[in-house]
Amino acid sequence: MKKNINKALSLVLVVITVFLASVTGFTASAAKTYDPSALVKTAESYVGKTWAEKSCLNFVANMVQKTYGTAYNSAPCAYEYGTKYLDKTSRNDIPVGADVFFSGSNTYCGSHKAGHIGIYVGDGYIIHTWSGKVVKTKIDNVTKSGVYKYRGWGWHGDMSFSSNSAASSSASLSTSTWYKFTNAKSGKLLNVYGSKSASNTNITVYQKDGTSGQDFKLVAHGTLSFGGKTYTKYIIVPRCASSCAVNVYGTSAKNNANVNIWTKSGNNTQDWIFEKVSGGYIIRSANNTSYVLTSAGISNSSNVKIATYSSGNTNQIWALS
Q: What is the domain partition of the chain in residue ranges?
A: 32-164, 181-320
How far, in Å, CA of 203 to CA of 192, rounded? Answer: 5
DSSP 95: P
Strand residues in 47-188 grouped as ranges (E): 99-104, 108-109, 112-113, 116-122, 125-130, 133-138, 148-154, 160-161, 181-183
What fold characterizes domain 181-320? Trefoil (Acidic Fibroblast Growth Factor, subunit A) (2.80.10)
Question: Rg of the chain's alpha carbons, rounded to an integer?
Answer: 24
CA atoms within 13 A on the CB side of 302: 17
* Amino acid symbol at 240: C
How far, in Å, CA of 73 to CA of 111, rounded? Answer: 20
Distance between first and last Cα of the chain: 65
What is the CATH number that goes with domain 32-164? 3.90.1720.10
Per-residue pLDDT of the chain (321 residues; tens, 9 = 90+): 444 444 444 444 333 333 333 333 333 333 467 888 889 899 999 999 999 998 999 999 999 999 988 877 778 899 999 999 998 898 877 888 899 999 999 899 888 899 999 999 887 899 999 999 999 999 999 999 899 999 999 988 877 776 433 334 454 688 889 999 999 999 999 999 999 999 999 999 999 999 999 999 999 888 888 887 888 899 999 999 999 999 999 989 999 999 999 999 989 999 999 998 888 999 999 999 999 999 999 999 999 999 999 988 999 999 999
∠ CA(274), CA(266), CA(51), 5° rounding? 105
